[in-house]
Copies of this chain bind each other. A is one copy, B any other.
């Protein structure tokens, strides 16, 4: 049994070890991809023996899951923060800038996240977790969009703010794919900005337009 459910001693050494293992795992997973990584490798990268691993986790899957949860939580907070900066009115380009900063900057995270997606695509239980996480993000976006609705009209094709949020997430996912392949962050940010502008404005120039980057 790895997860300390019983309320024994706190043992700060343990939490340190666990954190070290998670950090090392992040690096190793990003570099080689889940599925091409052995427990041994993670331990070696973290500077611990396999005994330490089994004392903290039951399996590679469990560690991978824990790792994803941790980082995803972090990102979600950052995104919420970036969306909450403005007042009641929404400055679309500025918000897009801040959000892409958080979402597209860390290539390692994108790699791990995609690995997790692939994992989830084959395991309904995992998929549900990921879907919930995405739904939370979408709700945050829809709320933000809704609050600024009077200010900038959304194109009718997308339906309500929720539909628009879906579109935003899809755009983000699409750009992520391209970024994973060419590794060009600046370009990706440019594309994302364009896409979001095209999606969130009615095309008649109500809100600011992104300049073309390419």
Interface residues, chain A, with chain B CB atoms under 8 Å away = 31-36, 111, 114-115, 117-122, 127, 130-131, 134, 155-159, 163, 166-167, 169-178, 180-182, 191, 194-195, 197-199, 201-204, 209-210, 212, 214
A157's contact among B32, B170, B176, B194, by CB below 8 Å, is which? B194
A159 touches B122 (CB 8 A): no
Measured CB to CB, the closest approach of chain B to A114, in angstroms, equals 6
Number of copies: 2
What are 24 A-B contacts defined by CB distance under 8 Å? A33-B118, A33-B122, A114-B118, A117-B177, A117-B180, A120-B180, A131-B181, A155-B203, A157-B210, A158-B194, A163-B214, A167-B194, A170-B175, A170-B177, A171-B171, A171-B174, A172-B174, A173-B178, A177-B177, A198-B198, A198-B199, A202-B203, A203-B203, A204-B204
Provide the bound-state CA to CA distance between A173 and B183, in Å.
16
Provide the bound-state CA to CA distance between A166 and B171, in Å.
11
